[in-house]
Structure 1
Amino acid sequence: MSGSRRRIRRRWRHSRGGQPNLGEYTIRSWPYVAGSTAVTVVLLGAYMVVDTGSSTPGASAAERPDAAAPPPAASPGASGDGVTPQMRALGITRRISAFSTRYKAGEPRVRNIRLGAAALNGQVVRPGATFSFNRVVGPRTRRRGYVPAPTIVGARLVNDVGGGICQVSATLFNAVFESGLRIKKARAHSLWMPEYPKGREAAVYYPGLDFVWRNDSGRPVMIQAMTTPTSLTITLWGTRRFGVRSKESKPYARKPYSSAVDHGARCVPMRGGQGFQINVWRFLQSDGRPIRRERFHTTYQPQTRVRCAK
């Protein structure tokens, strides 16, 4: 495990007329899997004054409201709206957000995804509490049932125990992103994988690389994680504090990929893909009033085209 951590840097930028335009920029860089060369940074800016009529430089024309995934299958004892007796006992009556990702049935990573989802399912995050993915899910080891599956290391995929667990953290990240809850610590993968939206995902690696968020809604939040043979859906139940809108830039600063032949037993063939950078913005609103703008900047490395030699 290697990696560096840059401390929080703060700066203030004022718009014309002396009004504070951009509040606090928080720059975070976290440790990640040894060999990874990603330069991925999360920039969180608190907007004091937001001009909702202007476009964000580099953003695509499409601005989408908070999009929820289809409701997951009902839990035992749940009412028609999906609320369980345990939720009602906590005062939880509404779904905040949901997000789904897909995978191929029968792949080794499916077992790891199901184990991770089972660890998340039913977790209650109290008001003001911080949720740590690694603390809740724990080590991904053979003794705990995890199996080898493709894992990103640097610009390649290799088979490692617990591979695929990042699909769980990435799905949770998107549910948290769309809920408006505060994201405290997140880092994208060094390579972009099509299972996740570009720039909207969180890699994890026990114990150093974690995905951490805070329940700042003022009410309990319950996590529901449901799997099928081909999909994972994570739903957050509780009380929504902010409305969410998002924008993303087009990929830019593209870099070509290289080719390699791997003779190792852990080799996973790869088709190769360009590296690129992308920006994603999350806009938080309350009763139509802008509250905060957050920018997530990600640099994805080129994906080496790998042929596994026998």
Structure 2
Amino acid sequence: MNRKSYIIFGILFLWIATFLLGIYIFEARNSKKVFEGIYIGQVYVGGLTEAKAREKLANFVNTRLRDPLILQYSDKTWNIIPEELVEVQIEKTVHEAISAGKSKNFLFRFFNRVKFSFNPKKIELAIKIKDEPFQKILEIISGEIACEPKNAEFKIIDGIIRIEKEKEGIKVDEENLKQEILKIVWSEKRKISVPVIAIKPEITQETLSKMNIKEEIASFSTKFDKTQAGRSTNIRLAAEKLKNYIIPPGEIFSFNNVVGKRTIEEGYKEAPIFLNNKVSAGIGGGVCQLSTTLYNLALLADLEIIERSNHSLPVSYVPLGRDATVNYGVIDLKFKNSTGGYLLLYTEIKGDTLTMKFYGSKKSDKKINIVSEVVKRIPPPVNIKEDYSLEKGKIHVKEGKPGYQVRVWKITTYNDGRQEKKLVSTDIYNPTTTILYVGKKEPQTQTHPVESQKS
């Protein structure tokens, strides 16, 4: 290498060194400033120190957060103040802006600075929804616009079957509403259409139409005492659970599963029940009249009885052998829809009469009659008890009631006159004991006062 080459190389090296030194000094002097070309959201913070960037950003944030937002759905509107609803992390965002493009290598920092000046960088404001205030607003809006879907359902009016069309429900789209608020909070536009989600009903008019339920196929009624308030309440509650219940072909119906637990929380009252061969008070008393009425309806519809138990004592509202007791989790009434089509169970209470009906696709061409036969009368046993509150020699009788052995027959009459007799059940009803209270109280001896004579 000749002398001239050394000189050129030296000048070039000196120029590069000077250039690099200049870059180093420039970067050192501006290391605490945000690079040119950097935005935080809509706010330009290029060339500002951290303190100035924080101040400028805070002014913008405070202005926007105090400007109300309008949430709108149909003709309803709600005003909200963003400041109460969102949390902005200014410190975190400004720190991100200050750090953007900063490298330990001053040359890399310089190259990033040049890059941002030609291709600006936008840093999103660190913002999040405050959960508790948002849930309060959501609750208010939902309370005014949200609604549950309504299934299509059968309506029986004057014996005519109609189908009431289903209705969609709606609920507020919570996540989308959050995103809409976060999106619009920095915008000049201050109105948001509340996003909603349509909720499809499970049962549609088309679904019910395909069930081909057209006419009444069986009916049975029992009477109850309306003056027994608790019992009447229980009967009405259980009847509502059973009303319009659809039983698909081949399905086994469970009374306990459909009616559910009979508890105070469910609204059931205390009323008379059979317990340990006597009448006692219990929650849900009277519900057995529903199971009994339904049992008789199932027999008349010629359904297959899977599970049924009689009461320990006779009931007043059906003939002997035609009752069906239930006790949640212990005793159930179950039968199978063996008709080959869908069945609609309809319940109705008018005055003191409970009526249950089955509707289906076609009424049977056979007639069914249920007959009770008392096989044996069981006399009440006699129990003698001493009664020390009753005078000796006297007897007080508390009459018991006889028990019965009963057979129930189903007699089917066909169109051609043929009859078929089938045993349905054989039941035992316990007698209640006759009690003879024998008096043991000793009669009191009368005493007369002795007169004293003065002399």
TM class, shorter-length: 0.5 to 0.7
SS of residue paired to 1:227? strand
- Identity between Structure 1 and Structure 2 (%): 28
In the alignment, is the contact (CA less than 8 A) between 1:148 and 1:163 conserved in 2?
Answer: yes
Pick from 98, 114, 131: which aligns with 2:219? Answer: 98
In the alignment, is the contact (CA less than 8 A) between 1:102 and 1:231 conserved in 2?
Answer: yes
1:204 alignment counterpart: 326
2:263 alignment counterpart: 141
Is 1:163 matched up with 2:291?
A: no
Name the CA distance, whole Å, in 2 between partners of 1:259 and 1:233: 41
1:185 alignment counterpart: 307
TM-score by length of 2: 0.45
CA-CA distance at 1:166 after TM superposition:
0.3
The answer for unaligned runs of 5 or more in structure 2 is 1-152, 165-207, 386-397, 436-455
1:175 alignment counterpart: 297
Letter in 2 for 1:294: L
Pick from 159, 179, 196: which aligns with 1:81? Answer: 159
Letter in 2 for 1:106: T
Name the CA distance, whole Å, in 1 between partners of 2:269 and 2:382: 29
Letter in 1 for 2:336: R
Q: How does 1:1-310 map to 2 (within 5 A)?
A: 78-85=156-163, 90-107=211-228, 108-238=230-360, 239-241=362-364, 243-256=367-380, 272-284=400-412, 287-288=415-416, 293-304=422-433
CA-CA distance at 1:277 after TM superposition:
0.7
CA-CA distance at 1:271 after TM superposition:
7.0
After TM superposition, which residue ranges in structure 1, 4 or more long, deviate above 6 angstroms? none
CA-CA distance at 1:251 after TM superposition:
4.7
When residues 89 and 207 of structure 1 are mapped into structure 2, their CA distance, relative to the original with a 3 A threshold, is same
CA-CA distance at 1:180 after TM superposition:
0.8
When residues 77 and 127 of structure 1 are mapped into structure 2, their CA distance, relative to the original with a 3 A threshold, is closer
- Give the stretch that moved more between structures: 167-176 or 225-234: 225-234
Name the CA distance, whole Å, in 1 between partners of 2:318 and 2:383: 24
When residues 82 and 251 of structure 1 are mapped into structure 2, their CA distance, relative to the original with a 3 A threshold, is farther
The answer for unaligned runs of 5 or more in structure 1 is 1-74, 262-269
Bigger relative contact order, structure 1 or 2 (CA pairs below 8 A, ≥6 apart): 1
Letter in 2 for 1:200: R
Name the CA distance, whole Å, in 2 between partners of 1:197 and 1:129: 28
What's the Cα RMSD here? 2.7
When residues 134 and 279 of structure 1 are mapped into structure 2, their CA distance, relative to the original with a 3 A threshold, is same
Higher helix content, 1 or 2: 2
Name the CA distance, whole Å, in 1 between partners of 2:227 and 2:384: 28
1:26 alignment counterpart: none
Letter in 2 for 1:212: K
**Deviation by residue 1:123-182 (Cα, 9 ceiling, x = unmatched):** 000001110000000110101111111010121011011111101100111111111111
**Deviation by residue 1:231-268 (Cα, 9 ceiling, x = unmatched):** 2111111134554233332351322155799xxxxxxx
Letter in 1 for 2:424: R
When residues 243 and 147 of structure 1 are mapped into structure 2, their CA distance, relative to the original with a 3 A threshold, is same
Name the CA distance, whole Å, in 1 between partners of 2:311 and 2:384: 21
In the alignment, is the contact (CA less than 8 A) between 1:217 and 1:240 conserved in 2?
Answer: no
TM-score by length of 1: 0.65
Letter in 2 for 1:227: I
When residues 258 and 166 of structure 1 are mapped into structure 2, their CA distance, relative to the original with a 3 A threshold, is farther
In the alignment, is the contact (CA less than 8 A) between 2:322 and 2:372 conserved in 1?
Answer: no
When residues 184 and 291 of structure 1 are mapped into structure 2, their CA distance, relative to the original with a 3 A threshold, is farther
Letter in 2 for 1:149: A
Letter in 1 for 2:403: G
Letter in 2 for 1:82: I
Name the CA distance, whole Å, in 2 between partners of 1:105 and 1:305: 30
CA-CA distance at 1:283 after TM superposition:
3.3
SS of residue paired to 2:272? strand
